[in-house]
Amino acid sequence: MTSQVSLQQQIEQLIRPEIRALHAYPVGDASGMIKLDAMENPYRWPQTMLTEWQQLLADVALNRYPHPKAPDVVDGLRAAMQVSDQYDILLGNGSDEIIQILAMAVARPGATILAPEPGFVMYKMIATFVGLNYAGVPLADNFELDADAMLAAVSEHQPALVFLAQPNNPTGNLWDEAAMRSIIEACAANAQPGLVVMDEAYLPFSSRQHLYLLDEYSNVVVMRTLSKVGLAGLRLGLLIGRPEWLHELDKIRMPYNINVLTQASAAFALRHYPVLVQQCEQIKATRTVLQDSLSAMGFAVYESEANFVLARVPANRQARELFEQLKQQKILIKCLDGGHPSLMGCLRFTVGSEPENAALLSALQTLLA
């Protein structure tokens, strides 16, 4: 008789050890909370726009597969983001799927993904998912890019992919352009050339975009999303680049990855893109007020070009304690303390609506008194 293998033994034999060592990406239940932890646009559409959208969805054929290329969405993105016809656009189920497609495409044995840290955690997680090595390079003081350390890492690891997020999450800042150019050029010059991904998730709140790098460098692609501009619920990311790159990446993209409701809703929203732009301008104005208010309370506030503010708590306070106290008052923010050595004592506040920000600041005023 064959001996029975326990369930735990089956798991240990089948699931890769690096996967077993991971923790799932934490997404808590925010029901009933003032939600200032996920960098969402707090504003809904005007009622007339909502009504028109709802009428549009009534005619969507849920019994049919979506268009495989989502041409209405691509055309809307090209117009709204002023993407030249010489470049292609690849759509993904959020930026996460785009990152996964990129990683899968270069996942040769021993290949490496490289990124500055602290940065977006999914770069490292997806590298692990697909069996790639990951190299994180610490940022310099004040979260600036350490060009010398990055160039040394590019030389040592010969990365297949380098992610440069501008603005960076969770720090919110833009990096020196000359430093980024030196990294792009070093990746191109390696014996094993590397592709540099400019991650512009927070572009709607930033003073600088990077599409122009596509004209100058053949080893650059630009990744964006509609999540931060106000369509987080749709999960729509995009990659902009030379047709030669996107032709290869499209082979990995799952068919019908953008569903019919997302296609209809995104195409509609892009026809009304000025509404979303106006909301982002309001968020930028509100961001300034939030930064000034936090600074006046004694936080060390970092300048942000995103829709969130990174701040270090006053010297006599504990970040985790403030996070928990706010949570008890039904205000959810992000505690970054413990996530990376340079983020000790740091909290990240999504810029909410005026009433949400007022509630946050009132609660902080009381807790810090």
For position 152, what pLDDT does the model report?
98
The pLDDT score that the predictor gives to residue 22 is: 84
Do 242 and 351 belong to one domain? no
CATH number at residue 196: 3.40.640.10
CA–CA–CA angle 298, 172, 197 (5° rounding): 165
Smallest Cα–Cα separation from 32: which of 323, 347, 328?
Answer: 328
Assess whether 256 and 299 both reside in one domain.
Answer: no
Instruction: Indicate the residue type of 296.
Output: A
Q: Is 357 helix (H, G, I), strand (E, B) or coil?
A: helix
Q: Is residue 13 part of a domain?
A: no
Residue 105 sits in which domain range? Answer: 63-271
Structure tokens at 159: 């990365």
- Residue 310, strand partner residues: 348
- Taking the alpha carbons at both ends of the chain, their separation in whole angstroms is 71
Return d(Cα 368, Cα 254) in angstroms, integer: 50
pLDDT given at position 358: 97
* Residue 204: cis peptide before it, omega within 30 degrees of 0: no
Same domain, 172 and 233: yes
Q: Are residues 178 and 295 in the same domain?
A: no
Question: Which pair of structure tokens corresponds to residue 117?
Answer: 């840290």
d(CA 104, CA 123): 12
My answer on whether 213 and 279 are in the same domain is no
Both 263 and 286 in one domain: the answer is no
Dmax (CA) of the chain? 74
Measured CA to CA, the distance from residue 300 to residue 217 in angstroms comes to 37
Residues in the chain, pLDDT under 70: 1-3
Same domain, 104 and 205: yes
Whole-structure pTM value: 0.94
The H-assigned helical ranges of the chain are: 7-14, 17-20, 47-57, 71-80, 94-105, 122-129, 147-157, 177-189, 212-216, 243-249, 260-271, 273-296, 319-328, 354-368
Write down the pLDDT at residue 3: 60
pLDDT of residue 5: 85
Last residue of a domain, one of 271, 304, 333: 271
Q: Is residue 168 part of a domain?
A: yes
Summary count for the chain: helices (H), strands (E): 14, 13
Q: Are residues 349 and 282 in the same domain?
A: yes
Task: Go through 304-341 and write b for each residue having 16 or more CB atoms within 10 A of its CB, e for each that does not.
Answer: bbbbbbbbbbeeebebeebbebbeebebbbbbbbebbe
What is the rounded CA–CA span in Å between residue 105 and residue 160?
10
Give me the number of domains the chain comprises: 2
| Those residues with Cβ within 8 angstroms of residue 285's Cβ, 6 or more apart along the chain or in another chain | none
- pLDDT the model gives residue 2: 52
